[in-house]
């Protein structure tokens, strides 16, 4: 195999990988609609802490907790 054939094979392999992974990358990007998708924000009254929790979770009162 001469140098030109090796270069062409290398170029073909790179192009093939690019066109195989490109749709995969775009589909993964389309699935995520942001960093906080499906999360709700909570901020403490005094503003000292905050966190995100899954959408649909509800707050409950805990006695002796």
pLDDT in tens, 9-30: 999 999 998 888 888 888 777 7
Output the CA torsion sign for 27, 30, 31, 35: positive
* 36 pLDDT higher than 80: no
Sign of the C-alpha dihedral, residues 35, 39, 44, 45? positive
pLDDT at residue 33, rounded to an integer: 63
Query: Whole-angstrom distance between the N-terminal and C-terminal Cα of the chain?
Result: 74
- At residue 32, the pLDDT reads 63
| Averaged confidence pLDDT in the chain | 85
Q: What is the pLDDT of residues 39-65, one digit of tens each?
A: 889 899 999 999 998 888 888 889 987
pLDDT of residue 14: 92
Contact 51, 42 (CB under 8 A): yes
DSSP annotation of 51 reads: E
């Amino acid at each position: 195999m001469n140098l030109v054939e090796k270069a062409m094979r290398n170029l073909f392999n790179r192009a093939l990988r690019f066109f195989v992974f490109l749709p995969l990358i775009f589909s993964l990007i389309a699935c995520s609609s942001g960093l906080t998708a499906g999360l709700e924000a909570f901020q403490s009254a005094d503003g000292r802490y905050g966190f995100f929790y899954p959408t649909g979770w509800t707050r409950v009162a805990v006695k002796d907790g």
